[in-house]
Structure 1
Amino acid sequence: MTVDHCPLSLVAFVRWFLWKSRNVLIFQGSCDNAIEVWHLAARSNAEFKDVNSLPSRHLSSFQVSPWQSPPADFIKVNCDASFDHITNKAGLAAIFRDSNGEVVGGSTMLVSSFSVVTAEALACRLGFVAAFRQGWKKITLESNNEGVISRLLKHEFSCWEYAFVEDDILSFSYLFDVCSFSFVRRSSNGAADWLTKNTRNRSCPRDWVLSIPPELASLL
């Protein structure tokens, strides 16, 4: 397929990554080869189409208000990821709160990732693994990535890069007595968002669960 016959969105992504590679070559003396640039553009275009192909209506669990407490004896797991397209590094975070809104646990991790969608799926899996290790039986998981949540609810996985991660998430979900997935706005996921960005920047305190930083506390 030539660029002239590519979808407009793919052409835009190709031009963007060519521009980035040019800048890296000028300022750092290294550059991705043409095949790597094409793969990066194709992957970003696939993510773009994946998001824009979702139904215009929101999922039934959609929330527009700030974070809401889960039912009694449930644990709410808020997950998020922050992805760096240049380094392919991603900060993952899962924060656990009870029905009183109290932070009862959490987990963060810095990983390499194929894409932002893969990173978001890895964050959800991190949440499930950590919740299982804590021994909780009733959980509700929230993410501000509508694509990941939609595929988990429909059990429809299309892209090999993150399909195996989302399949792992479903496998873990069967280990709980009660488990649900919900999509929320980023405004309802502020604490997890703060954790991911600071984890990616290597500035998140390791003991943040026991000693919550003031900036994070303001988001709870």
Structure 2
Amino acid sequence: MEFLQIPQHLHNACHSKTFSRTSHDTHWTAPKVSHLKVNTDATWDSSTNSCGIAAVVRDSNGLLVGGSSRFDMASSPLAAEALAIQLGLTLASSLSLSSFQLESDSLVLISAFLNPLSTVDWSASQLVSRIRSQAALFHRVNWHWASRRANRAADLVAALALHRVCIDDWTSNPPPSLMRILLFDAAGPPP
């Protein structure tokens, strides 16, 4: 397992937030038993500055616990990813979660949330400030980076939201393409 190193003085400042790369960068990994994981992603269209954003919540068995998605506007791909993370935190709040893992394929943003002194591109800086404030309302947010392949469920829902073909009740009636991903992920990584 590979870890990003955070200087001790910064680690103490963000002691409730941990970071590690997923051990299987090509496969979604389940959270610990009785824990939940929120995966977020965004799909951005540079020609229109529109984006689809998504948050998918699953338990340690890979079962879909909740989700949210929407079509939105963003000035950059980084801003779109930040909107998706904000959506994930809003979803976690609506589910009354106090501690959970939040996983995104944006290494820039995950690193920024772990290092309170870091800065990001101007296009996402205000969103990052709001996300930091929103995350502080939870008991614990474990920030994790995941490869795009390990984040396929959120990636698919974000793409559907961008193209405005994501049905409103996708969490209770997942489309077949999402069901295939959820079943594949629930099976766990190959030995």
TM-score (norm 1): 0.71
Counterpart of 2:154 in structure 1 is 192
Q: Secondary structure at the match of 2:28?
A: coil
Partner of 1:125: 86
Q: Identify the residue that residue 62 of structure 1 maps to in structure 2.
A: 21
Distance 1:140 1:67 in 2: 13
Q: Which has the higher contact order (CA 8 A, sep 6+)?
A: 2
Matched residues in 2 for 1:123 and 1:97: separation? 16
User: Partner letter of residue 126 of structure 1?
Assistant: L
SS in 2 for 1:96: strand
SS, match of residue 218 in structure 1: helix
Q: Contact (CA 8 Å) 2:54, 2:84: kept in 1 or not?
A: yes
Superposed CA offset, 1:121-151 (max 9, x none): 1100110011111101111000011111111
**Cα offset, 1:166, TM superposition:** 1.1
User: Residue deviations 1:16-40, cap 9 Å, x none?
Assistant: xxxxxxxxxxxxxxxxxxxxxxxxx
Structure 2 residues without counterparts, runs of 5 or longer: 5-18, 183-191
For normalisation by structure 2, the TM-score amounts to 0.81
Q: How many Å separate the matches in 2 of 1:149 and 1:126? A: 15
Q: Where in structure 2 are the equivalents of 1:57-96 lying within 5 Å?
A: 59=4, 61-63=20-22, 64-96=25-57
Name the SS for the 2:159 alignment partner. Answer: helix
State the shift of 1:106 in Å. 0.5
- How much is the aligned-residue C-alpha RMSD, in angstroms? 1.4
Q: Distance in 1 between matches of 2:143 and 2:63?
A: 20
Structure with the higher fraction of residues in helix conformation: 1
Percent identity for Structure 1 against Structure 2 = 35
Partners in 2 of 1:136 and 1:151 — Cα distance?
22
> Would the aligned equivalents of 2:31 and 2:37 in 1 still touch at CA under 8 Å?
yes
CA distance in 1, matches of 2:105, 2:38: 12
| Residue 208 (str. 1) matches residue 167 (str. 2) | no
The alignment status of 1:97 with 2:81, answered yes or no, reads no
Rg bigger for which structure?
1
Runs of 4+ off more than 3 Å: 57-60
Q: How does 1:27-66 map to 2 (within 5 A)?
A: 59=4, 61-63=20-22, 64-66=25-27
Match of 1:28? Answer: none
Contact 1:73 1:138 in 2 (8 A): no
The question of whether the paired residues in 1 share the 8 Å contact of 2:108 and 2:120 is answered with no
1:62–1:183 Cα contact (<8 Å) kept: yes
Task: State the SS of the aligned residue for 1:189.
Answer: helix
- SS of 2:113 mapped into structure 1: helix
2:99 to 113, 120, 138: 138
Report the number of matched residues.
164
Q: Distance in 2 between matches of 1:175 and 1:72?
A: 23
